[in-house]
Amino acid sequence: MADEQSETSEKASVSRRAFLKGGAAATGALSASLIPGVAGAQLPEATEADPRHSTVEMKVNGVPYRADVPNRTTLLQFLREDLKLTGTKMGCDRAQCGACTVILNGRNVYSCTTLALEATGGDVLTIEGLATDDALHPIQQAFVEHSGFQCGFCTSGQIMTTKALLDRMPNPTEDQARMALSGNLCRCSAYKKILESVMAASRLTRA
């Protein structure tokens, strides 16, 4: 009787292990198919010590970085907490205000809802990567000259969205600029000055 119970327990244990392994594999395959830019690519391998961590590699402002991070780490957390690039702001943490906007592989994204894993192998540009040692970027200069800010909390996100816009559309109309920045909120309601800054930046970058 004891032998039968032992055999039954062993089979149940093996069955549970097989189920968990199968579930983990299915979850990984599903994630790879759903994350933009990752379908068809191989996700970073989980570390042997802790499967809840993965190694991410990316360029940020032209500098390569490699780090072991928890799988749930957002790109915003990685930039602010791991790399100490605090120019990118935490606002709503819900992809609604745009204060956390950065450029990933040429596209403006909300870093608060983009996983660091999604950015692995990518090229990230933050507000810290715009100015040079000698001068502000023309977009930054335009925002200064036209007072495109009040408290300044949303400004880095506004500028990064403007950068992505002007990279793909150097000479936008005011309506096109409004549409492009519609995902970036300003609690101070400095929208008129922000629009003036964007249009001035368009002229400066084309000069």
- The two domains 54-129 and 138-206 share their CATH topology (first three levels equal): no
Phi, psi of 16 (to 5 degrees): -65, -40
Could you read off the pLDDT of 156-200 as tens digits, one per residue? 999 999 999 999 999 999 999 999 999 999 999 999 999 999 999
Which residues, given as ranges, of the chain have pLDDT below 70? 1-49
Helix, strand counts (H, E) of the chain: 7, 5
Structure confidence at residue 105 (pLDDT): 98
Domain spans of the chain, in order of start:
54-129, 138-206
Structure confidence at residue 36 (pLDDT): 44
Coil, helix or strand at residue 85: coil
Q: Got the DSSP string for 157-189?
A: HHHHHHHHHHHH-SS--HHHHHHHTTT---TT-
Q: For residues 172 and 203, give the distance between their C-alpha atoms in angstroms, rounded to a whole number.
A: 10
Which pTM value belongs to this model? 0.76
Q: Phi/psi zone of residue 108: left (φ > 0), alpha (ψ -120 to 50 degrees), beta?
A: beta
Coil, helix or strand at residue 54: strand
At how many degrees (to 10) do helices 138-145 and 155-168 cross?
130
54-129 carries CATH number 3.90.550.10: no
CATH number corresponding to 138-206: 1.10.150.120
